[in-house]
Structure 1
């Protein structure tokens, strides 16, 4: 018995080597949290990542 993200075991679930159990006790999905130092100049790579996460959250 394991508590694992669906995306991490998607292949195993679809091929039938794993199955979901105790689904009534699974908590609701959690939000994504990104923690980073509060510098005034956010590095471009981090800014791009944050922009993608924000856009995905809108969907």
Structure 2
């Protein structure tokens, strides 16, 4: 999101998608039927231009 008056960046949105197995009630790997479309979206996203400071990876502590 950019400020209309100055074109200065005003906000960035980050998404973290997780899958929860409803039987085990824990986080788990995505089913292939969902993972493949998500991977295709991620690959297509790489080709889009973004500022360098937006390309950092989230670090999650366990």
State the TM bucket, normalised to the shorter chain: 0.3 to 0.5
TM-score by length of structure 1 reads 0.37
Give 1 or 2 for the bigger CA radius of gyration.
1
Of Structure 1 and Structure 2, the greater strand share is in: 2
Of Structure 1 and Structure 2, the greater helix share is in: 1
TM-score by length of structure 2 reads 0.36
- Bigger RCO (CA 8 Å, 6+ sep): 2
